[in-house]
DNA sequence: CGAGTTTGACCTGCGC
DNA sequence: GCGCAGGTCAAACTCG
């Protein structure tokens, strides 16, 4: 069905930690004797993962593989140095502009101009007191023919922008669930059009709408930790305490590397099992 | 008719 | 301060 090879060791920068990780190659070719990505993560049960045509490749890639991303220092800080987001932080700018729009509708041009000025000043004053903070972001790359990978959550596209120095546009999606303000950006790498870069922002406040899933956040995380813990113990003859795993999920901490031999998948799972689980807020 | 997409306009932040 | 690029809004449109 799908093969997964531990390709090479790379430096990852996700969340607040950077780490080494042998990223898996997910290949939808038929191989019954293989080990699934979810199996690698220690998850015993999973259902079909990416809703992709057979023959398409899905490859989790280290961010360093795409040279143009992130493009700026700001981008890097967004991906690598997360700050805790304050409640309502994401709605500050939109709420302000909505208020502005309502005012504009009901007033004359001159009045509107004055009001606009006022509102801008108020906004400025607000900004000085309350710096806009972003939700934590999680970026990853996949090798896929389809831009928008099925991850078990429902998304509404709210924007698309041309990206500088790239022929491929960036799409903006929001989780359709009410009171869940998770967003994601999807764009193709211009250096390698087969690579899709997905950036999640925020945490889901609800479980995946896809029903009947046995491998939830807990099983995924505990499973992945088990796998890496077992491997680490084999290699170092001592138990592994995985702080990064417990905070970030399946990601390995620094200095923990995976076996070099190729691991093959016997089945395929869902992207949801990897990413949105990380974003799911456990209260 | 409701949900989702498209797309031009607008807002915001950052670098120079 | 200005210009640029990223990010968001919202009306119009499409689709089931």
Which residues, by CB, come closer than 7 Å to strand B?
A: A 72-74, 93, 96-97, 100, 116, 120, 123, 127, 132, 154-161, 171, 173, 176
Distance A97 CA to B11 C1' (A): 8
Nucleotide at minimal C1' distance from the A120 CA:
B11
* Residue at A140 is within a domain: yes
Question: Are the C-beta atoms of A271 and A142 separated by less than 8 Å?
Answer: yes
Band (A173; pLDDT cuts 50, 70, 90): very high
Domain span at residue A139?
135-172+185-195
Instruction: Name the nucleotide with the smallest C1'–CA separation from A72.
Output: B14
Phi-psi region of A250 (alpha: psi -120 to 50; beta: other; left: phi over 0): alpha
Q: How far apart are CA A268 and CA A162, in angstroms?
A: 33
> Which nucleotide comes closest to A105 if you measure CA to C1'?
C10
Residue A169: nearest nucleotide (C-alpha to C1'): C6
How far in angstroms lies nucleotide B12's C1' from the CA of residue A89? 14
Q: Retrieve residue A15's tokens.
A: 């969340």
> What is the average pLDDT across A114-131?
42
The total domain count for chain A is 1
- Give CB contacts under 8 A, 24+ apart, made by A68-76: A68/A165, A68/A166, A68/A189, A68/A190, A68/A191, A69/A139, A69/A189, A69/A197, A70/A139, A71/A164, A71/A165, A76/A13
The pLDDT of residue A270 is 43
Whether A148 is covered by a domain: the verdict is: yes
Let me know if residue A160 belongs to a domain.
yes
- pLDDT tens-digit map of A31-83: 333 333 333 333 333 333 333 333 344 555 544 434 444 444 444 444 443 33
CA angle A213, A25, A23 (to 5 degrees): 90
Question: Which residue lies nearest C4, CA-to-C1' measured?
Answer: A164
- The CATH number for A159's domain is 2.20.25.80
CA A70, C1' B14: Å apart?
A: 15
User: What pLDDT is stored for residue A147 in this prediction?
Assistant: 75
Whether A223 contacts A43, CB under 8 Å: yes
Res A172 pLDDT > 90: yes
Nucleotide nearest to A201 (CA to C1'): C7
Query: Which residue lies nearest C10, CA-to-C1' measured?
Result: A158
**Taking the model in full, what pTM does it have?**
0.53
In a domain, A142, yes or no: yes
A157 domain-assigned: yes
Q: With respect to residue A258, please indicate whether it lies within any of the assigned structural domains.
A: no
Nucleotides of B under 7 A from a protein CB: 3-15
User: Six-digit token pair at A43?
Assistant: 């998850």
Q: Which residue is nearest to nucleotide B5 (CA to C1')?
A: A157
Most confidently modeled range among A36-50, A98-112, A132-146, A223-237: A132-146
Identify whether A146 is part of a domain: yes
The answer to whether residue A277 is domain-embedded is no
The predicted-structure confidence for A265-275, as pLDDT tens digits, reads as follows 223 334 444 44
């Amino acid at each position: 069905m799908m093969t997964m090879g531990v390709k090479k060791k790379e430096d990852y920068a996700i969340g607040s930690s950077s780490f080494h990780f042998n990223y898996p190659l997910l290949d939808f070719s038929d191989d019954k004797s293989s080990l699934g990505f979810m199996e690698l993560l220690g998850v015993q049960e999973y259902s079909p993962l990416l809703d992709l045509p057979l023959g398409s490749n899905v490859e989790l890639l280290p961010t360093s593989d795409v040279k143009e991303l992130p493009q700026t220092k700001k981008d890097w800080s967004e991906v690598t140095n997360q700050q805790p987001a304050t409640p309502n932080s994401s709605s500050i700018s939109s709420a302000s502009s909505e208020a502005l729009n309502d005012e504009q509708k009901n007033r004359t041009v001159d009045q509107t101009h004055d009001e606009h000025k006022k509102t801008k000043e108020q906004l400025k004053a607000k900004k000085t007191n309350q710096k806009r903070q972003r939700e934590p972001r999680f970026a990853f790359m996949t090798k896929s023919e389809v831009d928008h990978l099925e991850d078990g959550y429902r998304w509404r596209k709210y924007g698309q922008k041309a990206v500088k120095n790239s022929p491929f546009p960036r799409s903006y999606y929001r989780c359709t669930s009410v009171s869940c303000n998770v967003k994601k950006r999807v764009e193709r790498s211009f250096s390698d059009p087969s690579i899709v870069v997905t950036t999640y922002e925020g945490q889901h406040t609800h479980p995946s709408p896809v029903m009947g899933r046995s491998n939830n956040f807990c099983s995924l995380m505990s499973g992945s930790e088990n796998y890496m813990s077992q491997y680490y113990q084999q290699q170092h003859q001592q138990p592994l305490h995985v702080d990064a795993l417990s905070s970030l999920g399946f990601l390995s901490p620094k200095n923990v590397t995976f076996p070099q031999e190729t691991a093959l998948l016997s089945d395929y799972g869902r992207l949801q099992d990897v990413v949105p689980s990380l974003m799911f807020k456990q209260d």
